[in-house]
Amino acid sequence: MSDLVYPPVVALAKTVFRLLDLRITVHGGEHIPREGGAVLASNHVSYLDFIFAGFAAVPAKRLVRFMAKQEIFANRLAGPLMRGMHHIPVDRDAGLGSYKAALAALKSGEVVGIFPEATISQSFTVKDIKSGAERMASAAKVPLIPMALWGTQRLWTKGRPRNLFQRHLPVSIYVGEPMPPKKGDNAAELRRRMSELLDRAQQEYPDKPSEPEDLWWLPAHLGGTAPTPGQ
């Protein structure tokens, strides 16, 4: 697969990260295979999560093909970039086509990224997840790798104003041990592993809210003012 667009975009992202002095830490990056197909399944707390989830694969020299909603591909600015990076559009009214495209990418040795919660979690906990990630991994006979991101919600998340140019912001990326492909419903196990990674990311995160108005980016169970999962 020809990649003329993706490498320059990665280089640009790295430059922006350096200029902003983002404190990005990747834990468990060795779990991303250097060759062969794999499914990366991450939690979802920010509109920018695909950038940072993909960043975790850079040390392994892999380019992740993310599954993203069709509306992004229809955008006149983002669309050409998404197509140029060979990401996979998801039409929620016709999901079979995107599933087949992701499966073909996996079987050809690509790494496919997916957010099994489907939408951003405003509670900053792992929501109920869809079964697509583990079904694809099983069908393609590739490992399923759980991930967790934390800190990205402070840049841009649902229901909050964008703050894209924060300097010195910590962003934590946790990559879990691969789950071998197997038949059956493994969604509960994947959610459990993603939740464990997210709990660790939240507990080990180096920043704490300095003002009461900053409590919004913490989940309720850690004393924050984010809505509970029930809300």
Q: What is the pLDDT of residues 84-98, one digit of tens each?
A: 999 999 987 777 899
- Beta carbons of 183 and 138 less than 8 angstroms apart: yes
CATH superfamily of 6-222: Glycerol-3-phosphate (1)-acyltransferase (3.40.1130.10)
Predicted TM-score (pTM) of the model is 0.96
pLDDT in tens, 112-155: 999 999 999 999 999 999 999 999 999 999 999 999 999 999 99
Helices (H), the chain: 6-20, 49-55, 70-74, 78-84, 95-107, 132-140, 187-204
Three-class SS state of 3 = coil
pLDDT of residue 171: 98
**DSSP letter at 179?**
B
- Report how far apart the first and last C-alpha atoms of the chain are (Å, whole number): 44
Distance between CA atoms of 33 and 25, rounded to whole angstroms? 19
- Beta carbons of 208 and 215 less than 8 angstroms apart: no
Q: How far is CA 39 from the centre of its chain?
A: 11
Angle of helix 95-107 relative to helix 132-140, nearest 10 degrees, comes to: 40
Which residue ranges make up each domain of the chain? Answer: 6-222
Residue ranges of E strands in 142-223 = 144-150, 170-175
pLDDT in tens, 140-197: 999 999 999 999 999 999 999 999 999 999 999 999 999 998 877 789 999 999 999 9
- Beta carbons of 142 and 38 less than 8 angstroms apart: yes
- Beta carbons of 25 and 101 less than 8 angstroms apart: no
Distance between CA atoms of 170 and 96, rounded to whole angstroms? 38
